[in-house]
Structure formats: structure tokens, C-alpha cells
């Protein structure tokens, strides 16, 4: 190779440059979803950090399983956020599928339904309503639909219409993936709080609870999630719309 940089270095440099541009573009459009991510992650990490120095007895297998899966989930948060923010949507969808499966597996451990060696059942427990989203993530991750695969990588400029080796920005897809990513962090926060409540008798602190609520409120306001009708019917004295707008 006679050039100063190899073709591989040129490709990777061009991809990185575009990914940085996509992150800047997404940050402008994401609005409060960026804050929701910070609130959700701060709540769960702060809680874990508070209890990290406390000694406790060896826990039952199911509790150890929940703790290990929680750690695995949190280790992968950064790479998932980077994939979404920098336009690697197919890769991000595969990571989000894993996050959702991890939440389902933790729920199975918690409710004595976990079967070792088996893929968690998304259709039961707290993930029961996520079948359509899981299907969408599967379609994006495995590019099983040609029209979607084409949309993810095709560049159209004047007379050029061809697949690109450089990530392409898709605001709608970024919003869908990022919003669900934040919601999964919120859910792992709830599950982690229940672990510490079982071991130490306490979960979120008051400040952590506020961060957790702010993340949820932003997701509701941005229409990433919706409160089930039965919740609003049960608490008719609470104006949820006003509460969310005020957050």
C-alpha cells in the first residue's frame, strides 16, 4: 500500500466523521429525550452505587440471576445509545432486542418462571404488551424486509440512488429506538429497586425516585409510552396530563 492511509482506515475515518455529524443532528432533534436518558440512568446507577459498599449474605440463585442480568444490561447501555445516536440503527435494534429479553428474563427469575437455556418469553409478565415492538425490532435488526433494509442504507442525491457504506440519518427511526431504549432503562430501574428492597429493605432514595419519575414523565409527554386506561380510571382525582406537562 503506497498511500499514507490504507483503504480500511479511509473507510473507518469517513464512517466516524459521519457518525459524529449524525450525533449532532440527533441531539438537536431529540429534545428532552436526552434528559430522560440521563434521569433514568442516574436513578438506577445512583441506587446501585449507594448499596455497592454494603455487605450482604449469599443470595438465592434467582436473586443472583437477576443481579447478573442487571449488570449485563447496564454494561451495554453506552454501546446501545451510541448505535442509535450515530445512525447504526440495525445494530441498535439488535441491542434493544437483547435489552428487552433481559428485562423479561429478570421478570421470569423474580416470578419463578425462568427456564435455563431458554429464550425469555416476551409474551408473558411485564413484557407481555411488547410483542409488536419486539417484532419491529426484530425486523430492523435482521433486515427481513427489503423495503426497510433499503431505507436504512440507501442514499439518494440527484441522479444517485445506491446503498451507502456510510450511516444515513433517519429521525423517525432514531426517535423510536431511543425512546424505547430510555423506557427499558426505566424498567430495569424498577427491577433493580425491587432487588435491593428484598435484600436491604429499601430501594430508590427520594432524589432517585424524582429522577425516575422525570424520565417517565418525559416519555409520556413525548408520547413514547402511554398510561394504560385502567390507571387513569383508578386515579380519577389525578390530572395526569397536567402532571406530565408540569414536569
- Residue 27 reports pLDDT greater than 80: yes
Tell me what pLDDT residue 245 has.
64
CA distance 2 to 82: 34
Cβ atoms within 10 A of the Cβ of 93, count?
26
Considering only residues 163 and 135, tell me which one the structure prediction assigns the higher pLDDT: 135
Considering only residues 137 and 57, tell me which one the structure prediction assigns the higher pLDDT: 137
- Residue 240 reports pLDDT greater than 70: no
Nearest to 187 by CA among 61, 58, 62, 69: 69
Average pLDDT of the chain is 86
Phi/psi for 161 (5° steps) reads -145, 100
What CA dihedral angle connects 125, 172, 224 and 30, to 10 degrees? 130
Domain ranges of the chain: 8-246
The CA–CA distances, whole Å, from 212 to 40, 169, 235 equal 5, 29, 20
What is the per-residue pLDDT across 34-88, written as a single tens digit (0 to 9) for each? 999 999 999 999 999 999 888 777 888 999 999 999 999 999 999 999 999 999 9
Quote the percentage of the chain above a pLDDT of 90: 65
Mean predicted confidence (pLDDT) in 125-137: 91
Tell me what pLDDT residue 231 has.
47
Indicate the length of the chain as a whole number. 247
- Residue 162 reports pLDDT greater than 80: no
Q: Where does the pLDDT of residue 139 fall: very low under 50, low under 70, confident under 90, or very high at 90 and above?
A: confident
Considering only residues 208 and 166, tell me which one the structure prediction assigns the higher pLDDT: 208
Tell me what pLDDT residue 143 has.
63
Ramachandran category for residue 103: left, alpha or beta (phi over 0 → left; psi -120 to 50 → alpha): alpha
Tell me what pLDDT residue 203 has.
96
Spatial CB neighbours of 245, under 8 Å, sequence gap ≥ 6: 221
Considering only residues 131 and 81, tell me which one the structure prediction assigns the higher pLDDT: 81
User: Picking from 16-20, 82-86, 166-170, 215-219, which range would have the lowest pLDDT averaged per residue?
Assistant: 166-170
Amino acid at each position: 500500500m503506497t498511500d499514507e492511509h490504507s483503504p480500511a482506515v479511509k473507510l473507518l475515518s469517513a464512517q466516524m466523521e459521519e457518525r459524529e455529524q449524525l450525533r449532532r443532528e440527533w441531539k438537536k432533534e431529540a429534545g428532552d429525550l436526552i434528559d430522560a436518558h440521563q434521569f433514568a440512568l442516574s436513578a438506577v446507577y445512583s441506587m446501585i452505587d449507594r448499596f455497592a459498599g454494603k455487605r450482604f449474605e449469599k443470595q438465592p440463585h434467582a436473586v443472583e440471576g437477576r443481579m447478573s442480568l442487571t449488570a449485563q444490561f447496564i454494561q451495554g447501555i453506552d454501546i446501545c445509545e451510541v448505535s442509535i445516536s450515530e445512525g447504526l440503527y440495525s445494530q441498535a435494534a439488535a441491542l434493544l432486542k437483547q435489552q428487552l429479553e433481559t428485562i423479561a428474563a429478570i421478570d421470569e427469575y423474580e416470578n419463578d418462571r425462568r427456564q435455563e437455556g431458554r429464550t425469555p418469553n416476551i409474551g408473558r409478565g411485564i413484557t407481555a404488551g411488547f410483542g409488536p415492538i419486539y417484532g419491529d425490532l426484530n425486523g430492523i435488526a435482521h433486515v427481513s424486509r427489503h423495503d426497510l433494509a433499503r431505507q436504512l442504507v440507501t442514499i439518494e442525491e440527484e441522479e444517485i440512488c445506491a446503498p451507502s457504506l456510510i450511516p444515513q440519518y433517519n429521525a423517525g427511526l432514531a426517535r423510536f429506538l431511543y425512546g424505547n431504549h430510555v423506557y427499558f432503562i426505566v424498567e430495569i430501574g424498577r427491577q433493580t429497586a425491587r432487588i435491593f428492597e428484598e435484600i436491604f429493605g429499601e430501594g430508590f432514595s427520594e432524589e432517585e425516585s424524582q429522577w425516575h419519575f422525570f424520565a417517565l414523565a418525559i416519555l409520556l409527554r413525548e408520547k413514547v409510552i402511554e398510561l394504560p386506561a385502567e390507571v387513569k380510571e383508578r386515579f380519577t382525582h389525578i390530572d395526569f396530563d397536567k402532571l406530565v406537562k408540569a414536569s
